[in-house]
Chains A and B, each alone.
Chain A
Amino acid sequence: MPQWLFAFLAALAIIGALGTIMQRNLVHCVLGFALVLIDLGVLYMGLGAVTVGFLQIIVYVGAIMVLFLFVIWLLNVQADAGVRGGGLGLKLLGTLGAAALAAELAAVFFHAPKLSQVRTIPPDFGSIAKLAQALFTRYLVAFEATSLLLLGAIVGAVGLARRLAVQTAPAAATPDRLAPAANDAPRKVA
């Protein structure tokens, strides 16, 4: 990847990341993060990891971020008013600490990559065949474990939602929601 392209993509990624944590509106935060994700996908492709780059866009941008948007709209919390950050001291401390961390990481990384010679990269490096070969031979057990993980996550997510449905069912079934009900005392009446 030529350096000007890297500089452009890096600047875009940093702008997107800053937008993610600085925007007041939650939808704008999610969009900033989607920008970072697409940007990183392009960077992966530039590094020869074409398959991973596309998977990043399919999985992250196409599915996970839409899920975030969906939840934000479902809860109707896009107006971030009232959710104030901690005190100014916390903000200052956090920023300083993170800046120190960034500096330290960057310094370490700048000195670290003497780890090996740059080998010639084979032309099919990062192709889906290579990735699949690694996944289904050396990493087969881990790959199968991720399927269990995903199954567990699905069951867990449905379980959390389902318990909710049982909780709110009596309240929803009551035609007059203003009628005092003993079982929904802790909840505010809408």
Chain B
Amino acid sequence: MTPVSYYMALSAILFAIGVIGVMVRRNVIVMFLAIELMLNAVNLAFVALGRRIGSMDGQVIVFFVMTVAAAEAAVGLAIIIAMFRNRETVNADELNLLRW
């Protein structure tokens, strides 16, 4: 059996990679993917800990996170499409209309 702490370490590493992605990349689609990566890293922690304490709650929360992620993807991608049609860019640094 693999100890729970290994799963938690993997979860931490994936979460950190997601953070790097959001901070370093300027492409909004990649930033969006990195956010989804962080959500999934947390899901892994939920499932691993839920098994550790023998409770279904972890899996239920993963189910809800998946639902929210699906809703988020639909709205987020619609926003990206609207943004691209208006500004013809997916570079977050060029979307600075509100900055002065």
Contact between B51 and A49 (Cβ–Cβ < 8 Å)? yes
- Known contacts A90-B23, A98-B20; A63 and B12 CB within 8 A of each other: no
Tally of contact residues, B, Cβ under 8 A: 77
In B1-32, the 8 Å CB interface with A consists of 1-21, 23-27, 29-30, 32
Contact between B24 and A20 (Cβ–Cβ < 8 Å)? no
Contact between A17 and B17 (Cβ–Cβ < 8 Å)? yes
Which B residues lie within 8 Å of A84 (CB)? Answer: 26
B24 CB contact (under 8 Å) in A21, A43, A67, A82: A21
Closest chain B residue, CB of each to CB of A6: B2
Which A residues lie within 8 Å of B58 (CB)? Answer: 49
Tally of contact residues, A, Cβ under 8 A: 95
Contact between A47 and B51 (Cβ–Cβ < 8 Å)? yes
Q: How far is the CA of A77 from the CA of B77 in the complex (A)?
A: 13
A68 CB contact (under 8 Å) in B11, B77, B84: B77
Closest chain A residue, CB of each to CB of B51: A47
Contact between B21 and A64 (Cβ–Cβ < 8 Å)? no
Q: Which of A's residues lie within 8 Å of B, judged by CB?
A: 1-3, 6, 10, 13-14, 17-18, 20-21, 26, 29-30, 33, 36-37, 40, 43-44, 47-49, 51-52, 55-56, 59-60, 63-64, 67-68, 71-72, 74-75, 77, 80, 82-86, 90-91, 93-95, 97-99, 101-102, 105-106, 109-110, 112-113, 115-116, 118-122, 125-126, 130-131, 133-135, 138-139, 142, 146, 149-150, 152-154, 156-158, 160-161, 163-164, 167-168, 186-188
